[in-house]
Structure 1
Amino acid sequence: MARIGIIGSEGRMGHALERAIAEAGHDCSGGVDRGGDPAALADASDVLVDFSAPGALDANLHAAVGAGIPILVGTTGLEEKHHAALDSAAGAIAVLQTGNTSLGVTLLAHLVREAASRLGDDWDIEVLEMHHRMKVDAPSGTALLLGEAAAAGRGIELAGHCERGRDGHTGARKRGAIGFASLRGGTVAGEHSVILAGTQERLTLAHHAEDRMIFAHGAVRGAEWLLGQAAGRYAMGQVLGL
């Protein structure tokens, strides 16, 4: 039985995580939210799971490093400076960062990478996602994860090949581009489709989240896997042995 601490405990994912931890037979060592002390939580835990906000990441990583325990970061909306902080922390502890903790999405990303690696850049790639009306970032972390998987399959950098927010007279689609479209509304937990459109044929790989608990169960699975891992930066694919 592991002691799992929750950062972002008052959010929807925080409450789902508390339930998932109990269902997996582990102990929830506590939780912190905005204004809380992650260092005290880290001292009482074997592993931390962070679903808070990008602005809290530095303090959360510092707490994990100070306690010498691993941390799983599922916070989305991260920027380059946040990834630099993750890399730095990974020099001292095991860090698993992902845009989505669903095991199904993890496998989907693997399939997207495989498809992109086998189909030429004459196949257009579009990533379509929809989430509930309260989501604040776009494209979603999962959409970016899938875009990165497609780019990795093609051996390119996503940053130099993505197209977002098309509006007005945009001109023809660039060959090899990876496009993104974001929809918001209702209470949708998360829907993602990766469309590979060729000449007179189209392949769609998709995932539909029906309940937020899938992310919580995946996060607990990832936290379990992190226990005992050497310092380094890890991804959800490694949890599934991909």
Structure 2
Amino acid sequence: MAAAPAKGTAAQAPHRVAVAGASGRMGHMLIEAIRASGDCQLAGALDVPSSPAIGNDAAAFLGHASGVPVTADLQAGLSQAQVLIDFTRPEGTLAHLRACRERRVNAVIGTTGFSEAQKQAIAEAARDIAIVMAPNMSVGVNVTLKLLQLAAQALATGYDIEIIEAHHRHKVDAPSGTALKMGEVIAQAVGRDLKECAVYAREGVTGERDPSTIGFSTIRGGDIVGDHTVLFAGTGERIEITHKSSSRATYAQGSLRAVRFLAGRRSGLFDMFDVLGLR
């Protein structure tokens, strides 16, 4: 028999969460994590109209019935939700965000590949709802970002900086949002502007490496979930800081931490440093 709440307290209501891209790989991982959590409840499941999962129970792939059908109707999919988790595409995320703003549903955004104008639209939406947006929801990746900040400050001169990332063959943007975030963190730590110092491609006779640049290398193949290495190459030594993901489960768990962080917040734009207290 479950223990009764302590006198003077009430059992906390679960966080009601909707998932965008519910029939995709990340959507399935999120639904599984929500089901396994003790404090979150699946309240909506969104997907594109062409998805064969439309109309099916969102947890059918687990062999369970959640009572939540997969729908392409944004209003229906968000009607019972307090927060939406979105790992889709930029255009889809912005459409979802407009519906969230209308219904005052908070959002956790793990989508990458946004343009500057699209990022500005997200910041504008955060005036009315609370949003956590991060290119990578993994707790480990965000701790790695903090380590990179410290390393870059100490290695600001005399070290060439290169960022190497690898992902599965289906990833459509490059470099990855995580790699770009690493570059932004490093550039800020050493007093540079990533837009001015990033080098995304090298071919032919390139000349000597400009020591003020930050280089990016991209690998796409197989089913690599996500590998990122930052190389600080000095004279006589190299420092490498690496994070490797073997499962999307870490992104799902980080997303649920973001959901909990947003509870009770009504507006504002946050990232995983805020969620994890790494400021």
Secondary structure of the structure 1 residue equivalent to 2:152:
helix
Q: Note the alpha carbon deviations across 1:122-163, whole angstroms, 9 max, x for none.
A: 311111111111111110111111111111211222111100
Q: Does 1:70 align with 2:83?
A: no
1:10 corresponds, among 13, 23, 30, to 23
Which stretch shifts more, 73-82 or 55-64?
55-64
- Which residue identity lines up with residue 72 of structure 1 in the other structure? V
Matched, 1:94 2:108: no
Instruction: Output the CA distance in 1 between the equivalents of 2:128 and 2:136.
Output: 24
- The 8 Å contact of residues 7 and 38 in structure 1, kept in 2 or not, is answered as no
C-alpha distance after superposition, 1:20-67 (max 9, x if no partner)? 111112111121112423333222101110111111122111111111
- Counterpart in 1 of 2:169? 133
Larger Rg: 2
Q: 1:172 to 1:39 in 2, by over 3 A?
A: farther
Matching residue of 2:34:
21
Paired AA for residue 157 in structure 1: D
Structure number having the greater helix percentage = 1
Q: Which amino acid aligns with 1:113?
A: Q
For the 8 Å contact 1:126–1:180, the answer to whether it is kept is yes
What is the CA–CA distance in structure 2 between the aligned matches of 1:60 and 1:122, rounded to whole Å?
46
Match of 1:173 in 2: 209
> Aligned AA for 1:94?
A
| 1:181-235 superposed Cα distances (whole Å, 9 cap, x missing partner) | 0111111111100111111111111111011111111111111111112411101
Runs of 4+ in 1 over 6 A off after TM superposition: none
2:141 aligned to 101, 105, 114, which one? 105
Q: Report SS of the residue matched to 1:76.
A: coil
Report the secondary structure of 2:42's partner residue: strand
**Is the CA contact (8 Å cut-off) linking 1:91 and 1:231 kept in structure 2?**
yes
TM-score (norm 2): 0.84
SS in structure 2 opposite 1:138? coil
Q: Which amino acid aligns with 2:47?
A: D
Structure 1 match to 2:53: none
* Matched residue SS, 2:151: helix
Deviation of 1:69 (Å)? 2.1
Deviates more, 1:226-235 or 1:31-40: 31-40
Tell me which residue corresponds to 2:55: none
Cα drift, residue 80 of structure 1: 0.7
Q: Which of 165, 168, 188 is 1:152 aligned to?
A: 188
Are the aligned partners of 2:15 and 2:259 in contact in 1 as well (CA < 8 Å)?
no
Deviation at 1:70, TM superposition (A): 1.2
**Number of matched pairs:** 242
Report the Cα distance in structure 1 between the residues aligned to 2:245 and 2:255, rounded to whole angstroms.
Answer: 15
Structure 2 unaligned runs (5+)? Answer: 1-13, 50-71
CA contact (8 A) 1:193 1:206 kept: yes
Q: Distance in 1 between matches of 2:160 and 2:264?
A: 41
Shift of 1:84: 0.6
For the residue of structure 2 that corresponds to 1:152, the secondary structure is helix
Please tell me whether the aligned partners of residues 122 and 176 of structure 1 are also in contact (alpha carbons under 8 angstroms). Answer: no
Question: What is the aligned-residue identity percentage?
Answer: 39
Rounded Cα–Cα distance in structure 2 between residues aligned with 1:122 and 1:170: 20
